Amino acid sequence: MRVVVQDTPFDFGAEAAGFAEGRAVSGAVVTFTGIVRDVDGGLQAMEIEHYPGMTEAALTEIADQAVTRWSLEDALVIHRHGRLDVGEMIMMVATAARHRKDAFEAAEFLMDYLKSRAPFWKREITKDGAEWVAARDEDEDALTRW
């Protein structure tokens, strides 16, 4: 299991290939990547603040839970902080399991939990200024299904 928090870009292709390589037990690898999107055409950048120390601990705890619950062979979480341009990758998760259902479910669990239980705060920068992204009720509600 690997948890990475960094302010620099990551190479999604290399990370995904490296994660999938040499899996003898796992028949299924799922990856998910989140990208800075510009819905209204006015976004200039995204700034992500985090809580050094707690971030790594929280992500590790969430990934540990996923590994245990879905008997994963491995899990990977990479999350960026700092300033990101539109189109840049914010984060990725990867899961390796014997069967695809476990790999998919574990990846969704990781996403749901790191959205509202890992200490990151997004701020959108537009030409009109900067605004903190408000947490959505749906994201909190999503946790109840686990």
Q: Which range of residues in 6-14, 19-27, 35-43, 120-128 is near another protein by CB under 8 A?
A: 120-128
The residue (of 17 and 135) whose beta carbon lies closer to another protein is: 135
- The residue length of the chain stands at 146
The answer to whether residue 91 forms part of the interface with another protein (CB under 8 A) is: yes
Starting from the edge strand earliest in sequence, which strands make up the sheet with 89-97, in order?
2-6, 74-80, 89-97, 28-35
The answer to whether residue 31 forms part of the interface with another protein (CB under 8 A) is: no
The single residue among 51, 65, 83, 89 that binds another protein, judged by CB under 8 A, is 51
Token pair in block for residue 78:
């990479």
The single residue among 11, 69, 88, 121 that binds another protein, judged by CB under 8 A, is 121
- Residues in contact with another protein, counted by CB under 8 A, come to a total of 27
Q: Which range of residues in 12-20, 23-31, 35-43, 135-143 is near another protein by CB under 8 A?
A: 135-143
The single residue among 3, 84, 90, 94 that binds another protein, judged by CB under 8 A, is 90
- Long-range contacts from 114-119, C-beta under 8 angstroms, 24+ separation: 114/58, 114/59, 114/62, 114/77, 114/79, 115/139, 115/142, 116/140, 116/142, 116/143, 117/58, 117/62, 117/143, 118/55, 118/58, 118/59, 118/62, 118/79, 119/50, 119/51, 119/54, 119/55, 119/58
The residue (of 26 and 55) whose beta carbon lies closer to another protein is: 55
Least distance (Å) between residue 49 CB and another protein: 6
DSSP SS3 for 105: helix
Q: Which residues of this chain interact with another protein, rule CB under 8 A?
A: 34, 49, 51, 53-54, 57-58, 79, 90-91, 111, 114-123, 132-135, 139-140
